[in-house]
Structure 1
């Protein structure tokens, strides 16, 4: 199940739960006691009064909680909640009671104290359960994120920092050293820097963007050794600032797939283009394009473990703050990723 389907399922489950909750609370609202027996009195005015509570609860639960309470803006949350409670009482006293009880309860102002108890009890029950639901959901996401980060780290280390990866790159470095290539010192430094970055500097959940771009450049240079004169690799960056931070190693999977797919069926004319820029609003624009031979591109290879892991990490680390588009044409594989970065 992809992230979009999972989000839709979660939203559907929440709304079903909310409907059941409101029906349960309304059930207790219409219960009355007469001559020692419990009876149900369902009248139109009860539906109108309860609808007033429902609107207030939806406003608190789906507007005030995420915008203020979860962002630790407690004072604003308290002020707006107080205003909503006052609005509910005013609507009840000056609108609903004058409509349904014009000659009795609506003939004069009964006072806030008489209505406050019922308003707070109903809203407290509805909003409290919504807060509990959100807390459980957020804890589940945190637990899933911890597990996913651990699995992603293990998957990346197993696929990249392994004897096969080091063997290929050391062999390439050896051949450059034998030929006394001027690139040898730079490539050795790049390999050392990438190993150090992945083993020591990626323990934090977020790293400076400049560091991530630097290790991505080293990563590309090392893979570029494997294609040598068989093609061209273009890596461009624009307006990359150290004011932003990003989850580490979240772009490497796309670059790794580009090299793997291009090399799998081509002996020459390999073309790989990687670009990265940050706009004025702090949104990262990442693009990775590579060509490949259609007959040599296994069906479903783009859905490997690494790609699935990075999709889940994006969903958990940047909920509603990223857009990922992957397109596969006859001879081209294109990845476009946008992430709203956070400042340091």
Structure 2
């Protein structure tokens, strides 16, 4: 496991925190009570005793914690920490007290319990705050990594949308060009408009709902050119306000999937119904229904890139605020998506 180097600002903040923490703990060490009154008694020996605690805290906090406790070497950490405390007690009893109190506690080992109580209380406070600091730092790093992972995955998923859409429509465009269909220029113009939206207006995490609906209408019209005279497409909207925002290119995946299934299974009587509505609380309800022939039912159950892609994007962009229901039957494919939208 590689150690993580602190950034300069982070290291500076930590050392400032340690200085303030040590001053605060030292403040409590020099506090005393006499006759019910709180008094402060500051002597040189108190500073010497506290310096003895400081080296032990720095050793435990910056050597034993990262090398043993955080690497789950609990037994070794416990033994080394115990040894460190013993050394602190020995220095205090046989060195410092011999210097500052040669005729009192330093004369024998009777004050060891008092020394141990003070040593443990100080070290527990100092080391405990260091553990808490590290926990907060690790949580911040985890949050940053989650955000980076989410952005990376969304970037990857979004990069799959354009090639997937482009691949399907270039095949259609090629067929129209080979047949020298008069619809070819209109198809190229529609494709250009849809791609312009994908490339230039979808760079933000969310877009105005009205723009997404306009794109969806262009998207439907683009596909409708391909089934003209072979079926009907109905598109309904209700309460579409510009103040609501939505992640781009979510709804068009379901529409594309519906057209693909219907066209692949039958050459006529294609029926698609798409509706988008928003209630007063900002809950968007999107439904898409398409028909197909019964013999194509097995193939419709196969999961393509588009549907799996949009499911992952929904889980990343709208965790716990969306509901996706897909109901395939032998002759129809029905999708109902609900998303709680936010306003600008």
Shorter-chain-normalised TM-score: which range?
Answer: 0.5 to 0.7
SS at match of 1:248: coil
The yes-or-no answer on 1:120 pairing with 2:129 is yes
Q: Residues 310 and 286 from structure 1, CA distance in 2 versus in 1: closer, same or farther, beyond 3 angstroms? A: same
Cα deviations by residue, 1:2-49 (Å, 9 ceiling, x for unpaired): xxxxxxxxxxxxxxxxxx969667985784227559xxxxxxxxxxxx
Residue from 121, 129, 133 that aligns with 2:142: 133
Q: Is the contact between residue 232 and residue 271 of structure 1 (CA under 8 Å) also seen in structure 2?
A: yes
Q: Residues 170 and 272 from structure 1, CA distance in 2 versus in 1: closer, same or farther, beyond 3 angstroms? A: farther
Q: Look up the match of 2:182.
A: 174
Q: Look up the match of 2:338.
A: 338
Q: Look up the match of 2:306.
A: 306
Q: Is the contact between residue 325 and residue 336 of structure 2 (CA under 8 Å) also seen in structure 1?
A: yes
Higher gyration radius (CA): 2
Q: Look up the match of 1:65.
A: none
The yes-or-no answer on 1:144 pairing with 2:156 is no
1:342 deviation in Å? 3.2
Instruction: Show structure 2 runs of 5+ residues with no match.
Output: 1-68, 89-112, 115-120
User: What is the TM-score of this pair, normalised by structure 2?
Assistant: 0.58
Q: Look up the match of 2:65.
A: none
Q: Give the Cα separation in 1 of the matches to 2:177 and 2:319.
A: 36
1:327 deviation in Å? 1.6
Give the length in aligned residue pairs. 245
Q: Look up the match of 1:77.
A: none
Cα deviations by residue, 1:55-113 (Å, 9 ceiling, x for unpaired): xxxxxxxxxxxxxxxxxxxxxxxxxxxxxxxxxxxxxxxxxxxxxxxxx99xxxxxx98
Q: Give the Cα separation in 1 of the matches to 2:322 and 2:280.
A: 16
Instruction: Show structure 1 runs of 5+ residues with no match.
Output: 1-19, 38-103, 106-111, 178-183
Q: Give the Cα separation in 1 of the matches to 2:133 and 2:73.
A: 14
Cα deviations by residue, 1:237-262 (Å, 9 ceiling, x for unpaired): 11111012222222112111111212
Cα deviations by residue, 1:311-344 (Å, 9 ceiling, x for unpaired): 2222333333322221212222111112222333
Q: How does 1:1-344 map to 2 (within 5 A)?
A: 28=77, 31-33=81-83, 116-160=125-169, 162=170, 164-165=172-173, 168=176, 174=182, 193-299=193-299, 302-344=302-344
SS at match of 1:325: strand
Cα deviations by residue, 1:261-292 (Å, 9 ceiling, x for unpaired): 12222243322111111222322211111121
Q: Which shifted more, 166-175 or 242-251?
A: 166-175
Give the alignment's Cα RMSD to 1 decimal.
Answer: 3.9
Q: Residues 228 and 170 from structure 1, CA distance in 2 versus in 1: closer, same or farther, beyond 3 angstroms? A: farther
SS at match of 1:299: helix
